[in-house]
Structure 1
Amino acid sequence: MAPSTTNLATPATRTAIQKLFDDATANSIAPGYQFVVFDRENTLVNGVSGYCDLPASAGAGGSPQDGAKMRPDHIHWIMSIGKLALSIVCLMALERGLTSNKMTIADLDNHEKLVEILPEFKLGSGSWVTKVIEGWDEGHDEQGRKIPKLREAKTPVTLRMLFTHTSGLGIIWDGPLNGQMVRFRIITRKKEGDLILLLVLSV
């Protein structure tokens, strides 16, 4: 039976959780951890263990103990770690019918249901998320920028594709074209004064 949040907040349980992570760092399972347990009202456990920064010597027989100790206020580049939590939240919302268009788990592969919420993904919408970059034209536009060669995407995107990274959206290190496209869009959007929503989706 899972422990209640009241039990989680007891000093004995906090000590046990701390020991779990301390043992992991001592056994080199990972150099360090930052962990938190919370509910709607309270932070029940908030702790750290190990090191946030290892010296170069640690990979050549040096000691991790020469690195910087992990602190609760350290900021981490978490990259894709949030995707698991976000996917769970989205699936729970679908399961409970909480979306504005009553989308359900059965609609994971339903393109039409997705575009009711994210109309940018509708094929032919003109949005850049429905375009595929194939290269650059030789010329430049009137503002001196390279002109991308774009074609329309052929596959309708679904929520399942967004969850599993199979929608075709790229990231800047997927290849030189993606990196160039991101720089192109930053310049374009700054000149237009618009929000860089596409970059949030793509990067």
Structure 2
Amino acid sequence: MAVPEDWMGAPPRQPVDLHTDRPHAARVYDVLLGGKTNYPADREAAEQTLAALPNAGAIARQNRAFMQRAARHLVSEAGIRQFLDIGTGIPTSPNLHEIVQATAPQARVVYADNDPIVLAHSRALHTSHPHGRTAYIQADLCRPGEILRNPALREVSDNFEAKGSHVNARSKGEVLRFFHGLDLVDPGLTVVHRWRPDTVEVGAAGWSDADIPLYAGLGRTS
């Protein structure tokens, strides 16, 4: 029996084995965020991670909080209406489209990840505002050309450009190379919990840069 194409005109999707009996990196991250899209094997792996790195949950939450603040800046202050989220991860509310469409319901968001398990969850749990659009594509960050040529991306958004560099990040200077040719939005490149914080998590006041060892920045073309 023929299986119809999906609404984006893409080839029919095959069933995805979610492998709930083994830990999955994206679902373990979901546990660290306090999410519910995970299984016992993922929770056990998260407990092992926390035993080795007690700040793992705080690191995950601050990374997510940076994304939310950066997205609000882009939609509210920079007027951006089209977003490409590469490396989506398990849906965690508020998701990118929820953040930007709360301000601009017509905003369009394309989620991309190279993991079919992540995309299976995304298609099931992400629902766009009726005035906007969302789409989901399986693609790899290391192949940006394939992402930009994907028909689903062109259906939802236009005029996307990608720029990046391969950086094996070990220092702030190496991370800064990723922003070469871009103008950094204030406060520039800094650890995630110091980038325009709008709330202070319990205990955060005493955190050093080493406690949350993630650099974050927002760059734009001139």
Calculate the TM-score normalised by the size of structure 2: 0.24
Higher helix share: 1
Calculate the TM-score normalised by the size of structure 1: 0.26
Higher CA-based Rg: 1
Higher strand share: 1
